[in-house]
A and B are shown apart, each in its own frame.
Chain A
Amino acid sequence: KNEVEQSPQNLTAQEGEFITINCSYSVGISALHWLQQHPGGGIVSLFMLSSGKKKHGRLIATINIQEKHSSLHITASHPRDSAVYICAVRIAGTASKLTFGTGTRLQVTL
């Protein structure tokens, strides 16, 4: 079983829909990252969380440390949000090791 699990693996939504992508992990962590990988392959860091909630534009990321769970929400989705969203955790006690989920592929249609 992977230490980081994302759901769903694939998601199709219509423009304007509210989207939620989930990330669950089985180890103690000190931080969690959300990344976005566009169809061209480039990877962009969206958020780094250690507690609570962060918001940037239409993107909201939350984390519940006790439940070992994080969610990424996209409000008013748009076709340009189509990408793979990747969750990664920094395992507690490891200085440099990030463990990545396999990603959620999101397609937003008109």
Chain B
Amino acid sequence: DAGITQSPRYKITETGRQVTLMCHQTWSHSYMFWYRQDLGHGLRLIYYSAAADITDKGEVPDGYVVSRSKTENFPLTLESATRSQTSVYFCASSEGTALNEKLFFGSGTQLSVL
């Protein structure tokens, strides 16, 4: 399917476990982003990538790891999940060289850490 897809849609895990959230886009957009959305907060940037093999920290990177070996994939890994990482995670992509371009969002992954 064309577009940007995230998996899984829902995930329940336990404290201390490693979890990987997947994000795949079919447009060959240069920029990809991971955000988390929590009640009372706006979307917050975790990590972003300007191109394959180029990643950088966002506003709330602690406890997360990303990689981008291929342009179309941008997985987000929680190395040792904590309850504070319970959230809804959104992946997004953009074709622009900066964020003066339209953002396309995945459907989100609802993660619960017990």
Task: Give how many A residues have a beta carbon under 8 Å from the other chain's beta carbons.
Answer: 26
* A39 interfacial contact with B, CB 8 Å: no
- B31 contacts A101, C-beta separation under 8 Å: no
Taking residues whose C-beta sits less than 8 angstroms from the other chain, chain B's interface range is: 20 to 34
- A102 contacts B42, C-beta separation under 8 Å: yes
Chain B residues, CB < 8 A from A43: 90, 92, 105, 108
Query: Interface readout for A76-96 with B: 1 if CB under 8 Å, 0 if not?
Result: 000000000010101000011
Query: Interface readout for B81-106 with A: 1 if CB under 8 Å, 0 if not?
Result: 00000001010100000111111110
Name A's B-contacting residues (CB within 8 A): 2, 4, 30-31, 33, 35, 40-45, 48, 50, 86, 88, 90, 95-103
A48-B102, A96-B50 given. 20 additional CB < 8 A pairs?
A30-B100, A31-B99, A40-B107, A41-B110, A42-B107, A42-B108, A43-B105, A44-B105, A45-B103, A45-B104, A95-B98, A96-B58, A96-B98, A96-B99, A97-B45, A97-B59, A98-B103, A101-B42, A102-B40, A103-B42
